[in-house]
Amino acid sequence: IVGFSLQALKSISFIYFLIFIALFYGYFKKKYGKEPFLIAMVILITNSLIFEYSFVYRPEIPLMTIGFLSYIFLERSLEQERPSYALVTLSGLIAGLGFALHLNGIIFLAAGFLLYLTLRRYKYALTFFLASLPTIAIYFYDFTADYNLDFFYYQISKYLHLLFYHSM
C-alpha cells in the first residue's frame, strides 16, 4: 500500500504499538481504573526496549499486540457463563497469526491450549487449536519446490544443533 521505504517499514511497529496502547487502555481501565493505567503506561513507555522496538522494523511489538489481543478474547471466553465458541475461535485465529508473524508466537498457542486443558474445557481446547490452523498455515505460504519441508527441517535441526551442542 505504501511501498518499501524506510519510513513505511519503521512505522509498522509504531502503528502496532499505538494499537497495543488502545487495547491496553480499554482492558486496563475496565479492570482496574484510570489511575493504575497511567502508572502502567509510564512503566511501559519508559522501558527502553519498548521505546526502541516501536521505531524499528522488527516483529516484537506486533507480536506483543497480537498476543495481547488473543489473550483478551481468551479471557472473555472464560468469563462467559454460557459457552462462547466464537470468542475461543477468535482467540485461536489471532494466536495463529502470532505464530505466522514469528515462530516465538507459538507460545500464545501453547499457553491458550494448555490453559483450556488445565481448566478441563476440552471442547474449548480443541476449538482453539483447530481455529489456529488456518492462520498458522500462513507461515508456510512461501514453500516452493526449492524451499519445502525438507529445507525447513534442515534449518530447524541446524538451529537446534547449534543451540544445544555449542552452548555447552
Residue-wise pLDDT tens digits, 78-95: 998 888 899 999 999 999
Q: What are the angstrom distances between the C-alpha of 92 and each of 14, 23, 64?
A: 25, 18, 15
Q: What is the rounded distance in angstroms from the CA atom of residue 168 to the CA atom of residue 161?
A: 11
Task: Work out the mean pLDDT of the chain and round it to a whole number.
Answer: 88
Which pLDDT score, from 0 to 100, does residue 92 have? Answer: 96
Q: Are 70 and 63 in contact (CB under 8 A)?
A: no
Nearest to 27 by CA among 99, 76, 93, 95: 76
More confident of the two residues 61 and 139: 61
Q: What are the angstrom distances between the C-alpha of 15 and each of 48, 53, 62, 107?
A: 18, 12, 9, 23
Q: What is the rounded distance in angstroms from the CA atom of residue 38 to the CA atom of residue 25?
A: 9
Q: Are 91 and 77 in contact (CB under 8 A)?
A: yes
* % of the chain surpassing 90 pLDDT: 51
Q: Write out the DSSP string of 115-166.
A: HHHHTT-HHHHHHHHHHHHHHHGGGGTT--SSSSHHHHHHHHHHHHHHHHHS
Which pLDDT score, from 0 to 100, does residue 161 have? Answer: 77
Q: What is the rounded distance in angstroms from the CA atom of residue 109 to the CA atom of residue 129?
A: 8
Q: Are 101 and 63 in contact (CB under 8 A)?
A: yes
Of 2-11, 24-33, 79-88, 109-118, the range with the lowest mean pLDDT is: 2-11
Would you say residue 168 has pLDDT above 60?
no
